[in-house]
Chains A and B, each alone.
Chain A
Amino acid sequence: MLDLLQSASDGVLYGATYALIGIGFTMVFGVMHKVNMAYGAASVGGAYLGLMMLKLGAGLPAPLVFLGAFLAGGLLGWMVYLACFHFIPLSSPLATLMSTVGMLLLIDEVIVHTTDGMPQNYPALFDDVMLRFGEFTLRGDLLLVFLVSVACMAALLALLYRTRLGLATRAVSQQAIAAQLCGIRVAQVNVTTFVITGLLGGIAGAMIGAAVGTLSPLLTTPLTVKGLIVTVIGGLGSVPGAIVAGLLVGGFENVIQLYRGVTERDLYVMLLLFAFLVFRPGGLFAPAGERD
């Protein structure tokens, strides 16, 4: 029982990173009705770029590396927007989808080539700190990952619900044409969404690196798949949904790993997704949608 709780708790803490990735996917979907398949790769890419700063300025403290990842993520987000959504007409959904897939492959391969495919060590903070409550442990590094992620989510929610930009974003996601008619520059909202989700992705990538201790290009595929699963389970377009779903998936997979081992773990996550698709295709929180 204790093992179960411990696994679940560790999983939920780590799941905050999935929540961030899920938020990224779901926001782009909500605002533009498109999936940015390159998002997972860009997040890992941001983490790598943050790492490069560490290499360049040897001995940079970890928080600066995280900051570097944060900013690099935003930059990559902007680049993906340019490559995939700026020139291609949004009325060609297949073309935009395909181009994001192309970017996914491109970013992935760039990472592999610049690092020769070798995993890179990632700085962690508080990895030697353990908060103990009897038999139950909260790992310091995971707790940090969780808290940083939560802080970002809180900042995002504040942005969405307390600022004009957030209001514009929500308006565009509900009725893009009407929003335009009200004077909102939709293209600007789109770019901003990409940059903001990029920033979040960079932090997510950095946090994953911090939690796991290494970064490797092999991370991008499972991260992309899990991020998409979280998005679907949470409800396409719903930020709160992505948050809850991310924590849920994190906890779930860790518990499964305890009982079935790591090779079968991902298979069960797929099954979880299929269960949702069959029983609750709208996800946990279907967002306010338009009538048909």
Chain B
Amino acid sequence: MDFYFGLAQLIGVHTLLGLSAYVVLLTGQVSLAQAGFFAIGAYVAAMLTVLAGWHLVPALGAAALTGAATACAVGFPALRVKGLMLVIATLAFGEGVRLFFFNFDYQIAKGDIKVGPLGGEGFRQIRFFPENGWTTLEVMLFIWTFVLLVMALLWWLDRSRYGAVLRAVGEDELAAQSAGINLTAVKVSAMTLGGVIAALGGGLYAHYATHIEHLNFGILLATFAIAYPIVGGLASVFGTLAAVLFVQGFLVEGLRDLGDWRNLLFGALIVLAMNLRPRGFLDADNLRAIKRLFLGGGRGAS
């Protein structure tokens, strides 16, 4: 049973990662920086609980704020680069963050041992959960509380004017500007929101994994982050969730015996998925079809 709880924890954290990329993708910005914000959230939250003795919840709050600040700082220069240049710039940012942590040492003594991040060796002994007697089930529920909150927020956002404005910017920046939409405010705010969600996910990840290192936050993770909303489809947050379930559930559970081949299959899976369904699992059309099926043709903006 513990195994499934662990899987659910992973799925939860990856859903947050995917949702952070989803928000930014709505505005038409393909960001490979989300893994970077995730890493920052992980290290900040872990350092606060381990080195400064904070409780996890305020540590997560601080991590989220740090994620927001960094993402906001990234969001402004990101405005100056369009399309594929943004992909490259955000990729470089993510790698820069990883390299930063590769070189980052900050250890203090706790009793006999030294704790804290140690460059390439990573950050071990992130033991908030075990030290406070949390069971695997409790950790899973804790993580999923946040996941559901974020999903609810984003679902609500999709129904609000802000959500429509985000998508309008993603559709046609020229028309959006001419209709009075402030592109800077919209794109930077989306990036900031994405940063908050990613950092939150990172903080949670650090604590259930208990050991983090720079290699966890490389290009592969950045890829997962955008793969989920793209493969899942941008019409709804549920697409991203579905993609995480499919990728992690299918790869991990369905192909458990294949062990190391998972990453290879992940690559092949993406190629296949994109060829078969270029607009993702849940695109605008099947979303409407599903809605009609379940809600019997009710009103409401899509």
Contacts and interface: CB of A to CB of B under 8 A. Distances in A.
User: Do A and B have CB atoms closer than 8 angstroms in the complex?
Assistant: yes
Interface of A: 29, 33-35, 83-84, 87-89, 92, 94-99, 101-110, 113, 221, 224-225, 228-229, 231-232, 236, 263-264, 266-267, 270-271, 273-274, 277-278, 281
B92 interface: yes
Interface residues of B, number: 43
Given A94-B30, A113-B260, A232-B89, 18 more contacts: A29-B84, A95-B279, A97-B30, A98-B230, A99-B275, A101-B223, A101-B227, A113-B264, A221-B219, A229-B88, A263-B102, A264-B99, A270-B92, A270-B93, A271-B96, A274-B77, A274-B93, A277-B89
Contacts of B25: 94
A99 B274 contact: yes
B85 A266 contact: no
A194 B91 CA distance: 23
Nearest to B86: A277
Given A35-B87, A236-B84, A106 B264 contact: yes
Given A221-B218, A267-B99, A103 B267 contact: yes
B161 interface: no
Given A35-B87, A225-B91, A277 B274 contact: no
A213 to B, nearest CB: 23
Given A109-B264, A277-B89, A98 B102 contact: no
A267 B100 contact: yes
B264 A229 contact: no
Given A95-B230, A110-B264, A113-B260, A102 B103 contact: no
B226 A109 contact: no
A35 to B, nearest CB: 5
Contacts of A92: 278-279
Contact of A266 (B77, B84, B87, B95): B95
Contacts, number: 127
A188 to B, nearest CB: 21
B87 A97 contact: yes
A106 B231 CA distance: 17
A104 B227 CA distance: 13
Contacts of B91: 225, 228
A83 B275 contact: yes
A104 to B, nearest CB: 7
B275 A263 contact: no
B4 interface: no
20 contacts: A33-B84, A88-B274, A94-B30, A94-B278, A98-B231, A98-B274, A99-B271, A102-B271, A102-B274, A103-B271, A109-B267, A224-B219, A229-B88, A232-B89, A263-B103, A266-B95, A267-B99, A270-B92, A271-B96, A274-B92
Contacts of B226: 98
A96 B275 CA distance: 8
Contacts of A34: 84
Nearest to B264: A109
Nearest to A89: B278
Contacts of A229: 88, 92
Contact of B80 (A99, A101, A263, A281): A281
B141 interface: no
A108 to B, nearest CB: 8
B27 to A, nearest CB: 13
A281 B226 CA distance: 24
Given A88-B274, A103-B271, A105-B266, A278 B77 contact: yes
B181 interface: no
A99 B270 contact: yes
Contacts of A99: 270-271, 274-275
B185 interface: no
B220 interface: yes
Among A34, A225, A277, the most chain B Cβ lie within 10 Å of the Cβ of A277
Contacts of B268: 102, 106
Contact of A106 (B84, B103, B267): B267
Given A29-B84, A94-B30, A94-B230, A228 B267 contact: no
B284 interface: no
A277 B267 contact: no
B261 interface: yes
B275 A87 contact: yes
Nearest to B268: A106
Among B80, B92, B96, B270, the most chain A Cβ lie within 10 Å of the Cβ of B92
